[in-house]
A and B are shown apart, each in its own frame.
Chain A
């Protein structure tokens, strides 16, 4: 394993230590070592916005903590849900008395731990409502959308929810905006190599040289098919053919596009891929209002990319365009 670590069982602790040193202008620790918060949280008079998830997806999840973004984040082991207590402590850290919106991804462990944490918070008089991201088109057919996993579309959900809360939205309004964001969002991933959890020490799965897996999940969940490795232009075409008809996105739509590397993809190549994505959207009469290209939501050192598209209306556009200051997303 070619990795820069100390004890493989302590990578999350060791990472957090460094993270908090570097980003102390934005993020501080709480009394729970597995919960971090925005330095100004809870923000007086504002609905708290919280997420949580397994580690290994930097800058997600903790990197989206900040102004007009997330107020607190629960941190799990690598690729493993945070504890119910970490979620609960995140709710406490974010709640100013206006309630908490917990915006997280659709995974078995996260669903269970969030549910437990919400129950405990309720007993303590903290009102928590949830939105579960399910933007990964390849993870289940549209008829079973509730089974789909959440991937990079979560970033749009956090951005929109965070902005709505910052504008003074009530808990129900924040939840409605975040739900609309994820309902309007579709994603698909392609994987070119596997990834290795340090504590395990061997690759999680295998992708043969010269091939790629279309529809791969953020932890290597199997996709729709394995094909020979294509050119960037062809990959753009394949990804859009999966995403566009699913929503469907049609001529005249305005969209936001997020193209994230999975950890090992040179950013240079993401720009090559993006260029064709935008050209193909333009050909179909779909207008790109804003685009984000870079390592926004990774999977350790996996080679590959996730393409995420969100259809915009006036409200979403307004919220997407709002200023934001976090490590993963800065917009001024």
Chain B
């Protein structure tokens, strides 16, 4: 039972284990640099929405880093599919597409969890107090699930490695910088404010930040994140079916 789900996870975790050190060091560097540059750089005097900037920044780094890791499976899938054809082994096996998508998505969540734990460790090292609200767990699960399934969708739609990089440049990077990771979206000009409100990261950053800094949880936003997760799960299934057309 669930042999497809177990098989995909077996493959991904075993490949990850062989590159774990390199991958963990690589994923830990960028949030650390942001913390040093913006956290220490601005000091505790700068406040945003009544929070010291470093306390405002840590939840943003959690959403950014977990997005990078969960969505980042698209690049691995791309290589698996186009260069090594390993993905064909999943498609030929007697397993459902749902199991393949869930296996890959949970691998994305696994990678994101490592990056989240690293940032929690940084927050201890930098002396940042976080107030963990239970909503953090479903929120981060939905956040990483939706970006992992978006990653699967993109990896199945693009035709080559270059197209994958283009999507990252024009969609993922702007989203990371504009959707409230480093500063509140209220400060954006009206047109950008409108754009960021159609992007899921805006909502997950708000909910996750509130769940870590004692803010008010917006359950409507949480339901929007769940909605995005369901939509991208659907698009991932559709995209895999399309590969077999």
A binds B: no
